[in-house]
Amino acid sequence: MTPEQQIIIGESPAFLEVIEQTSRAASHDRAVLVIGERGTGKELIAARLHYLSPRWEQNFVQVNCAALPDTLLESELFGHEAGSFTGAAGKRIGRFEEADKGTLFLDEIATTSLSAQEKILRITEYGTFQRVGSNKILNTDVRLIGATNIDLPEAADLGEFRHDLLDRLALDVITLPPLRARKDDIIILAFHFGQKIAQERSWQSFPGFSESMSQTMMDYHWPGNIRELKNVVERAVYYAEHEYDPIDQIILDPFNSPYRPKRPPIKEIKQQARDISEMPKALPGPKDFQTLTMKFERELLQQALKDNKFNQRQAADYLSLSYHQLRHQLKKHALL
């Protein structure tokens, strides 16, 4: 993060309280959890915790735990010995070693596996760890900061996060307020982002926002918080024709269009594709609907009977039909 990217703006009471808490937490050397909805500034607060701490001249190492699959994350965090798993060509120093004497920021910490959590707990308690594929116990002196936008106590109750690690990390918990709880900051932040884009556009000065645009920004609930505000302002300033009038055009939802495709989320599309690929391929012969569906039904029934060793009750269950419905279908297809 460049110093420019570390600028933190805000004057509302809820935000100033967080800034004060951050300064207090920075001076002690214990683990800290930074909690908050998406886009509330967790990364900025984590960096501030490091740069205001006695460790500020040492490394600030950042890992996004959600970006790596479980096995790779462990080798990323703790390092590995040569050949410890397929693809592990040489020895690798992990992030905990790289952050020795400094700070390690585990972003999206809630996504780590229970096995990684156990190892993280050991490091925070005893400062010891092993590289993947090695028995040798190594030491590191790291200050840990974790961030997440999920409710960790609930995740712990559901068995998805270790209670003992949560207790350890929860020595200090900083919870960032969402933007809608710090309305006083909306215009200040919007002005800050607007000025930056005006500079990028080589404008002489930034004309600010019109009354109606300011009001719209104040009234909106900002589910994506400061990141969303930043994007909205960026879009508005880029769309503005010149620098002489206050910015008046605001597009809160760039996807809003009468032609917006009504497609389900990607996960559902993939499931549909899997369902379709499990259906029999296009059938030869006449292409009329009746014939094709009859053929498809008959194949389904025959397959269900075969897969269930011709036990009709089981075949009915298998197709989510009642026994009588199945019998009816079998009769219809002359399969009885």
Ligand X SMILES: Nc1ncnc2c1ncn2[C@@H]1O[C@H](COP(=O)(O)OP(=O)(O)OP(=O)(O)O)[C@@H](O)[C@H]1O
Q: Does 44 bind ligand X (CB under 6 A)?
A: yes
Q: Does 12 bind ligand X (CB under 6 A)?
A: no
Pick the closer one to Mg ion by CB: 129 or 222. Answer: 222
Pick the closer one to ligand X by CB: 8 or 273. Answer: 8
- The minimum distance between CB 133 and Mg ion, in angstroms, equals 31
User: Could you say which of 9, 19, 43, 127 contacts Mg ion (CB under 5 A)?
Assistant: 43
Residue type at position 216: T
Under a CB-based contact definition with an 8 Å cutoff, are residues 104 and 50 in contact? no
CA distances from 324 to 17, 295, 331 (A): 67, 21, 11
Q: Does 94 bind ligand X (CB under 6 A)?
A: no
Tokens of residue 207, six digits: 């004309």
Residue of minimal Cβ distance to Mg ion: 43
R_g over Cα of the chain: 29
Q: Does 22 bind ligand X (CB under 6 A)?
A: no
Q: Where are the alpha helices (DSSP H) in 127-262?
A: 152-157, 163-169, 186-200, 211-219, 225-239
Say which entry of Mg ion, ligand X, none residue 171 contacts (CB below 5 to 8 A, set by partner kind).
Answer: none
Residue type at position 85: F
CB environment 203-224: b (16+ within 10 A), e (fewer): beebbbbeeebbeebeebebeb
Say which entry of Mg ion, ligand X, none residue 187 contacts (CB below 5 to 8 A, set by partner kind).
Answer: none
Binding positions for ligand X, 23-42, rule CB under 6 A: 36, 38-42
- The minimum distance between CB 115 and Mg ion, in angstroms, equals 24
Question: Minimal CA–CA distance to 206: which of 244, 248, 233?
Answer: 244
Tokens of residue 286, six digits: 């006449």
| Number of chain residues interacting with Mg ion (CB under 5 A) | 1
SS3 content of the chain, % helix, strand, coil (to 5): 50, 10, 40
Span of 2-10, 257-265, 291-299, 322-330 interacting with ligand X by CB under 6 A: 2-10
Rounded-to-integer distance, Cα 220 and Cα 293, Å: 50
- The minimum distance between CB 265 and Mg ion, in angstroms, equals 22
Q: Is 26 helix (H, G, I), strand (E, B) or coil?
A: helix
Q: Does 173 bind ligand X (CB under 6 A)?
A: no
Tokens 């596996």: give the residue.
113
- The minimum distance between CB 46 and ligand X, in angstroms, equals 8
Pick the closer one to ligand X by CB: 102 or 178. Answer: 178
Tokens 């269009």: give the residue.
257
Under a CB-based contact definition with an 8 Å cutoff, are residues 250 and 234 in contact? no
Q: Does 228 bind Mg ion (CB under 5 A)?
A: no
Q: What single string gives the DSSP state of each residue in 79-130?
A: -B-TTSSTT--S-B--HHHHTTTSEEEEETGGGS-HHHHHHHHHHHHHSEE-
- The minimum distance between CB 230 and ligand X, in angstroms, equals 5
Contact letters for ligand X, residues 132-161 (x by CB under 6 A): -----------------x------------
Tokens 């990607």: give the residue.
266
Span of 28-36, 40-48, 217-225, 300-308 interacting with Mg ion by CB under 5 A: 40-48
Chain residues binding Mg ion by CB under 5 A are 43
What residue ranges bind ligand X (CB under 6 A)? 5, 7-10, 36, 38-44, 149, 189, 226-227, 230
